[in-house]
Structure 1
Amino acid sequence: MHVPDGFLDAPTSVVTGVVAAAGVALALKGARRELDDRTAPMAGLVAAFVFAAQMINFPVGAGTSGHLLGGALAAVLVGPFTAALCLSVVLLVQGLLFADGGVTALGTNVTLFSIVAVGVGWIVFRGLLAVLPKRLPTVALCSGVAALVSVPVTALAFVGLFAIGGQAPVSLGAVATAMVGWHVLIGIGEALITTVVVSSVLAARPDLVYGARGVLTSRPLQIRTGEAAT
């Protein structure tokens, strides 16, 4: 879903650049409340994992490509503000060093990945967790559903931007069909990967999962005592 140079017109790119800058500034402020001795190392691992996953691209038609987004996964593991920063750094490195996504479209990509994907993923995750039983397996389930929803919603956001300022010689219908249709399938794959990764971290170190902190603190303290000798 990386947007290349020239795919959107200059006014749209400028607006998304302003939105991206404001979003990153807000994320920098919010990340101060999320980062601690547990979240900071995890943030580096999350950024590395998302970077590697996003480097695997495949064409989906109409001049666009698809790959994993990682927004919901990052938000659940390290918090939404830190996740937005992780995705922004990944996009910056990919655009400047690997030509994956245009430099002039960096604001657009940050808006889609760091704001829309992370924001939608976190809202869906927190919404589901608020109404479902507060258990660790629920955290993994909610993260998977959040990933499933965030991917096609982000694709729809891109289609909306293309409808406003699309420059490529491709019809809006073709872009919408390719992006939304394929990204529903990508969302299913991302949901599975997100569920597996979050479940694995929860099994080993649940205290490292930012999205599980409320669940851990709500669990009653259990004191185990040895059986009396007979």
Structure 2
Amino acid sequence: MHVPDGIINAPVSVAAGVVAVAAVGVSLRGARRELADERAAPLAGLVAAFVFAVQMLNFPVAAGTSGHLLGGALAAILVGPYTGVLCISVVLLMQGILFADGGLTALGVNITVMGVVTVLVSYGIFRGLLKVLPRGRRRSVTVSAFVAALVSVPAAAAFFTLIYAIGGTTDVPVGKVLTAMVGVHVLIGIGEAAITALTVSSVLAVRPDLVHGARGLAAPLKLRVGGELVDAAAPSSPSSPSSPSSLSSPSSKDTAAVPVAARSSRKFWVVGLLTALVLAGVVSFYASASPDGLEKVAADQGIDKNVREHAAADSPLADYGVKDVGNARLSGGLAGVIGVGVTVAVGSGVFWAVRRRRTDAGAPDSSAASDRTSV
């Protein structure tokens, strides 16, 4: 759903840019709390890189149309809503500057639609569902993630239509645009939901303590003593690396109590980064070549008549290929690997800076502080 230059007029693009800057500013302040745990900053950089990688994997959704992950729901659930907005903003900035994907004058529109709207809608739904679904079960978190991601995509499509209604540069009936955008993005939302639920479920299975949206949901760890289940001694910090963590009762078929004391966050980060590199460097070659939802709707409805060439069209990495590398597979793979590397480096740098600013301001540097203030 990357909006190119020329679809939205200059005044509305500027207004969207102001909204995006304000949202990023608020997120920078809110992310200080979410990044209080020393493990959170590198994890957030990894999430940004993973979103970048998966966005390269367009999947077919209808005849001649493809879709890709937006990532707002996934980022918000894994690292928190404020940090989630920053993750998507970093991804969109890297895509626009390096890969000519998403217009530079439309960067504010893209951050607002793909970052702010998806995060607000998905995280609100996610938290709401967790209040009504059985507490302390991984299945509840996974189902909530699926529904939240599913709804966030057509919601973003509807919000784009609103922006087009205010500042579109072509005279196309808004009703037709809305119907087409929401219709195709409901289908894309199913793919988004599946990817989000699968990723969240996978992280929960190995490191539930690293899932921001699951904090505070852990059932007390039980020990069998003399044939009876009793509560284990409560740790001093619920989400500290030495704390046991469980997202279901001992009798649940979903899971059992999972101690995380001996598990290495560094190992998790390395495995996650390698996964992102493989997805972007290898699997992306098999992605659908069909236009994505917005491109297809824009072409079919004629709202792309005034689209301008991207300012970074001559970039060495434009269109996710390395200039002067003749082999398409190698060119795309190298571009994907470079993109993941740059995104994780820039993202991690931003998040470490945010966390350092919190530490320098004298805020407590503990996982417990993060848990108490999580949204």
Alignment of 1:27-42 (within 5 A): 27-35=27-35, 36-42=37-43
Identify the residue that residue 126 of structure 2 maps to in structure 1.
Answer: 125
SS of residue matched to 2:102: coil
In structure 2, the CA distance between the partners of 1:177 and 1:51, relative to structure 1 (3 Å rule), is: same
Q: CA deviation at 1:53?
A: 1.9
Identify the residue that residue 18 of structure 2 maps to in structure 1.
Answer: 18
Identify the residue that residue 98 of structure 1 maps to in structure 2.
Answer: 99
Is the 8 Å Cα contact of residues 61 and 188 (structure 2) preserved in structure 1? no
Cα distance in 1 for residues equivalent to 2:61 and 2:19:
27
SS of residue matched to 1:53: helix
Q: Deviations for 1:163-196, whole angstroms, at most 9, x for unmatched residues?
A: 1111146443442233111100010111111111
Is the 8 Å Cα contact of residues 61 and 187 (structure 2) preserved in structure 1? no
Is the 8 Å Cα contact of residues 85 and 115 (structure 2) preserved in structure 1? yes
Q: Give the count of matched residue pairs.
A: 223
SS of residue matched to 2:151: helix
Where is the helix percentage greater, Structure 1 or Structure 2?
1
Q: CA deviation at 1:37?
A: 2.1
- Match of 2:201, as an amino acid? S
- Match of 2:73, as an amino acid? A
Identify the residue that residue 69 of structure 2 maps to in structure 1.
Answer: 68
Q: CA deviation at 1:38?
A: 2.7
Identify the residue that residue 213 of structure 2 maps to in structure 1.
Answer: 211
In structure 2, the CA distance between the partners of 1:58 and 1:212, relative to structure 1 (3 Å rule), is: closer
Alignment of 1:37-186 (within 5 A): 37-57=38-58, 66-134=67-135, 135-168=137-170, 170-186=172-188
Q: Deviations for 1:194-224, whole angstroms, at most 9, x for unmatched residues?
A: 11111111011100100001212xx123123
- Match of 2:79, as an amino acid? V
Q: Deviations for 1:123-171, whole angstroms, at most 9, x for unmatched residues?
A: 0000101111112211111011000010000100001110111114644
Cα distance in 2 for residues equivalent to 1:178 and 1:59:
16
SS of residue matched to 2:221: coil
Which stretch shows the higher mean deviation, 134-143 or 153-162?
A: 134-143
Is the 8 Å Cα contact of residues 201 and 209 (structure 1) preserved in structure 2? yes
Q: CA RMSD in A?
A: 2.1
- Match of 1:50, as an amino acid? V
SS of residue matched to 1:224: strand
Identify the residue that residue 233 of structure 2 maps to in structure 1.
Answer: none
Segments of 5+ residues of structure 1 without an aligned counterpart are: none
TM-score where L is the length of structure 2: 0.56
Cα distance in 1 for residues equivalent to 2:61 and 2:196:
22
Question: Identity over aligned residues, as a percent?
Answer: 65
In structure 2, the CA distance between the partners of 1:133 and 1:198, relative to structure 1 (3 Å rule), is: same
In structure 2, the CA distance between the partners of 1:17 and 1:59, relative to structure 1 (3 Å rule), is: farther
Is the 8 Å Cα contact of residues 149 and 192 (structure 2) preserved in structure 1? yes
Cα distance in 1 for residues equivalent to 2:45 and 2:134:
30
- Match of 1:125, as an amino acid? F
- Match of 2:2, as an amino acid? H
Cα distance in 1 for residues equivalent to 2:72 and 2:2:
14
Which stretch shows the higher mean deviation, 172-181 or 135-144?
A: 172-181
Cα distance in 1 for residues equivalent to 2:216 and 2:194:
23
Segments of 5+ residues of structure 2 without an aligned counterpart are: 228-375
Instruction: Give the structure with higher Rg (CA).
Output: 2
Identify the residue that residue 328 of structure 2 maps to in structure 1.
Answer: none
Identify the residue that residue 8 of structure 2 maps to in structure 1.
Answer: 8
Q: CA deviation at 1:60?
A: 8.9
SS of residue matched to 2:157: helix
Cα distance in 2 for residues equivalent to 1:189 and 1:206:
23
Is the 8 Å Cα contact of residues 6 and 168 (structure 1) preserved in structure 2? no
